[in-house]
Each structure stands twice: as structure tokens, then as C-alpha cells.
Amino acid sequence: MKTMSRKVKIKLFAQISEVAGKKELELEGETIGDLLERLVEDIVELEEVLFKEKKARSLKEDIIILKEGRNIDHLKGLDSEIEEGDKISIFPVVGGG
């Protein structure tokens, strides 16, 4: 099946947005994994913030990624497919209450 790249809005929060020096950007991709690849190409400083190792491409445990308000851990992780116009939110692990 042919898949198509979709444009989505990525929002960065807390220390992640401080490292990136921006709060929002738009990128294209088919899956969350794709998007993150493009994100770290664009903002290289985020590579070590988001990923455990350069090649292995597994997310650090202290990173939370939401696709349309749903944590990708409860979807298909980095393989979660994205749809045109989705909102992706990326957080460091936070606490409070």
C-alpha cells in the first residue's frame, strides 16, 4: 500500500523547547519515528535529548510523546502512523500534583 507523507504540527515543551530554542515547528512524515528523524536533522541538539543511542533509535525513558493527546506508548510507539494535521506534543517526564 502506498503511504504518503503528511504535514503535522510539533509542539515542544519545558526543557526540550529550551534546548531546541523554539516551541513549535511543522514537519512531514508517515510515522512518529519518521518525524523524530526529521526533527533531529533539523535540530541536532535534540538527538541526545530524545534518543538513547544514535543508531538504535530507541526513545529515552524520560521522554513523553503525545499524538493528538494520546501517548504513543499506548498506540504503536514510534511506528504510530500520523495523519495530516495531527498535533504531536513532546515532553520531558514531568511531575507535580
Q: In the complex, what is the shortest distance from the CB of residue 18 to another protein, in angstroms, rounded to a whole number?
A: 9
* Beta-carbon contacts of residue 56 (< 8 Å; ≥ 6 apart): none
Q: In the complex, what is the shortest distance from the CB of residue 45 to another protein, in angstroms, rounded to a whole number?
A: 16
Burial (CB < 10 A; 0-12, 13-18, 19+), residue 97, is: exposed
Residues that bind another protein (CB under 8 A): 11, 13-15, 17, 61-62, 64, 66, 68-71, 73-74, 87, 89, 91-97
* Beta-carbon contacts of residue 48 (< 8 Å; ≥ 6 apart): none
Q: In the complex, what is the shortest distance from the CB of residue 57 to another protein, in angstroms, rounded to a whole number?
A: 19
CB-wise, 2 or 53, nearer to another protein?
53
